[in-house]
A and B are shown apart, each in its own frame.
Chain A
Amino acid sequence: MQKLGDFKLPPFFNYPPYFTLQPVRETREKQIQLWKELILDYCRTQKIFVIGLEEEFPLFSNTVIERSLTHEARQAFLSALVSEGRAEWLDKVRRKCLILWHRIQDWADIIVNFVKDNGLEDSVMTVEELRSGTESRGTELQGLDRTILLRALKLLEHKGKLAIFKGTSADDEGVKFSI
């Protein structure tokens, strides 16, 4: 079994035709399904939040069988994730993609649970503290992508569970919980 670091690659990763976008609909659906699962799995275990289509990404090429995904194929697989709400394009030209192995709603739930677990129901924290503070160490929030974190916080703000307020610089936006 081929590995990328400590990540076990599925066998289809070594089968060359999976690197060419298949023309027949049913075959392509199966192919896209396998790639979607692989991308989400890999990003989840490696804590990767953003994939750049033009950049080097370990899953996009397999040196063992000398195959790599075309731009078209990369876009097809990521678009499939986007249409399921498991990813979002970060720009109009579709060069960067935000990977949501937890949906925004699920991230919001994780934040709420984190707040409850730590008894922070009506405290104030900075956004930066949420993703790198001592409380978040060892939780899923540690090292969370800032864009995703802010999106989840905005969702909670929308529901009236917290208020976001601006600090003096961009780095110290604060959050007042009222859960």
Chain B
Amino acid sequence: MRRRPGIAGLQGAAAARDQFRLLGENVAKIRTDLMKEQLATFRSQLEDFALKHKNDIRKNPAFRSQFHEMCAKVGVDPLASNKGFWAELLGIGDFYYELGVQIVEICLGTRPHNGGLINLQELCTLLRHKRKTSREAVSEDDCLRAISKLKVLGSGFEVISVGKKKLVRSVPTELNKDHNEIIELAQGQGYVTVDEVERRLSWTSGRAIDTLETLLDEGFAMIDDGHRDGKRRYWFPCVSSISSTVVTDA
């Protein structure tokens, strides 16, 4: 005959549940404590690391880029706030804000020449030129980081990839796929002709001329009628290397 559930059995089960709960809470607490401790250790280790390599982080662009990568992997953004311990520790926030301001200056200064579209490489060269006196070296990675911080201003600073090159756009003009294709084509020689666009991209002449005219109107291109073959060339200061020297002296 089966025993029916009695009061003692119920009490026993309740007690066991309590015991389990207690144990569970204890285990959870121990685990949180452990986690907290680990986090604290991690943070102090990261701080130690940052302190120890402070100079490397400041001066060596390659090292800085790796440090950023490491931080990103563990979910720490050293640039998130200028008031955090990173800023106090490294002054790294100020570094990027300074770069940001200088990048804006360069983009504005070269706008009459390139229409607000500048090659990332060229931007870096100009930036280094401008910062000649500062001791810290600047890499393209630094430029990209500084530009990404400029986005909060909502002024339409953006890095676009055209072919193999990265271009920095500082005007609100959106470039569509057709524009991009032409700029990519121009990377070869620094210029394109209508014929070339029709042939290489298999476009109709109307489409080629329209797109080129838009780029011209936006100030991204300049015409050149001086070649002896008599064909009009459309030059793109944002992709031809000579422009980098033009603007520094202008």
Query: Which residues of A pack against B, CB within 8 Å?
Result: 10-12, 14-20, 22-24, 26-27, 29-31, 34, 66-68
Given contacts A16-B191, A26-B112, A67-B226, list 19 more A-B pairs with CB under 8 A. Answer: A10-B249, A10-B250, A11-B246, A11-B249, A12-B246, A15-B235, A15-B246, A16-B227, A16-B233, A17-B233, A18-B222, A19-B224, A20-B223, A20-B224, A23-B216, A24-B216, A24-B217, A27-B115, A29-B112
CB-based nearest B residue for A1: B245
Q: How far is the CB of B190 from chain A (nearest CB, A)?
A: 9
A66-B228 CB under 8 A given contacts A11-B242, A15-B235, A23-B216 = yes
Q: Which residues of A contact B228 (CB under 8 A)?
A: 66
A5 to B227, CA, bound (A): 26
B225 within 8 A of A: yes
- Summed over the interface, the residue pairs from A and B with CB atoms below 8 Å come to a total of 60
Give bound CA distance, A10 to B113, whole Å: 14
Question: What 8 A-B pairs have minimum CB-CB distances, sorted nearest first?
Answer: A17-B222, A11-B245, A30-B112, A67-B226, A17-B224, A16-B224, A17-B235, A11-B246
Interchain CB contact (< 8 A) of A16 among B217, B226, B245: B226
User: Which residue on B lies nearest to A31, using beta carbons?
Assistant: B222
One of B223, B233, B240, B250 near A22 (C-beta < 8 A): B223
Quote the shortest CB–CB distance from A15 to chain B (angstroms).
Answer: 5
Residues of B within 8 A of A (CB): 112-113, 115, 191, 216-217, 219, 222-228, 233, 235, 237, 240, 242-243, 245-246, 249-250
The answer, among A14, A30, A34, for a CB contact under 8 Å with B242, is A14
Beta-carbon contact of B219 and A19 below 8 Å: no
Q: Which of B217, B223, B235 has the most CB of A within 10 A?
A: B223
In the bound assembly, the distance between CA atoms of A68 and B222 in angstroms comes to 16
Distance in angstroms between the alpha carbons of A12 and B227 in the assembled complex = 17
A-B contact pairs, 20 of them (CB 8 A): A10-B249, A10-B250, A12-B250, A14-B242, A15-B240, A15-B242, A16-B191, A16-B224, A16-B233, A17-B233, A18-B222, A19-B224, A22-B222, A22-B223, A26-B112, A27-B219, A27-B222, A29-B112, A30-B113, A67-B227
Least CB distance, B30 to chain A, in whole angstroms:
69
| A26: B residues at CB distance < 8 A | 112, 219
